[in-house]
A and B are shown apart, each in its own frame.
Chain A
Amino acid sequence: AQTVTQSQPEMSVQEAETVTLSCTYDTSESDYYLFWYKQPPSRQMILVIRQEAYKQQNATENRFSVNFQKAAKSFSLKISDSQLGDAAMYFCAYEGAQKLVFGQGTRLTINP
């Protein structure tokens, strides 16, 4: 079974600084997708970024970028120029055979 591990239950960063959230996963599948979702206090799950495993190029979305290391099964999220609105729970997720598996989440606090 696939598993996703987020080793940092909590992280904090100063506003305008850069922070990196870690995620590792375990799978024997070769074709899969990886996601980072954000869940603010409203509890609405919002897609941050998505990475296809077959693509070598790391995905970027404005201030958000990933470092995808397929051999190491690592998928970290870098947030640049952190803003107060980035405060939320961040979930790393894996999808292989049509089933989304989530990590336990990292609570990110932004200090003004």
Chain B
Amino acid sequence: KAGVTQTPRYLIKTRGQQVTLSCSPISGHRSVSWYQQTPGQGLQFLFEYFSETQRNKGNFPGRFSGRQFSNSRSEMNVSTLELGDSALYLCASRTGGGQETQYFGPGTRLLVL
């Protein structure tokens, strides 16, 4: 089975712009979660989607949003980018029924200038 894929792998944006990141889960997985990883804050949970519905949400401003499509692929959008949004954004998928193990993608590294 193919693993979790994320596109793009690297991205450079400027302050004030918006960005969309994409995540394709492992085939058969219906849950997708997003995490932000920074040197200062570590790994922080953004949100989880299951069957196109947001099931859980972390403590991030409304500039961070996401969605999930019927094929379980997910996108994450950040509007009005700030320098502090520079981070590695990780996506993880699991089958979705409960507290199964999450499998991570390689991440998208976002640099905001």
Do chains A and B interact in one complex?
Answer: yes
Q: Which of A23-79 contact B (CB under 8 A)?
A: 32-33, 35, 37, 42-47, 50
In the assembled complex, A102 has its CB within 8 A of some CB on chain B: yes
The answer to whether A99 touches B42, judged by C-beta atoms less than 8 angstroms apart, is: no
The answer to whether A98 touches B48, judged by C-beta atoms less than 8 angstroms apart, is: yes
Chain A interface residue number, banded: 20 to 34
Pick from A42, A100, A101: contact of B106, CB under 8 Å: A42
The answer to whether B99 touches A33, judged by C-beta atoms less than 8 angstroms apart, is: yes
Bitwise, B42-83 to A at CB < 8 A (1) or not (0) is 111100100000011010000000000000000000000000
The answer to whether A101 touches B45, judged by C-beta atoms less than 8 angstroms apart, is: yes
- A35's nearest neighbour on chain B, judged by CB, is B101
The answer to whether A99 touches B107, judged by C-beta atoms less than 8 angstroms apart, is: no
Q: How far is the CA of A99 from the CA of B58 in the complex (A)?
A: 8
The answer to whether A50 touches B107, judged by C-beta atoms less than 8 angstroms apart, is: no
Q: How far is the CA of A103 from the CA of B41 in the complex (A)?
A: 10
**Chain A residues whose C-beta falls within 8 Å of the C-beta of B44 in the assembled complex:** 102
Given contacts A43-B106, A50-B101, A95-B99, contact A100 B42 (CB under 8 A): no
Q: Could you show 15 A-B contacts with beta carbons less than 8 Å apart?
A: A35-B101, A43-B106, A44-B104, A44-B105, A45-B92, A46-B104, A95-B99, A98-B56, A98-B98, A100-B33, A100-B45, A101-B45, A102-B42, A102-B43, A103-B42
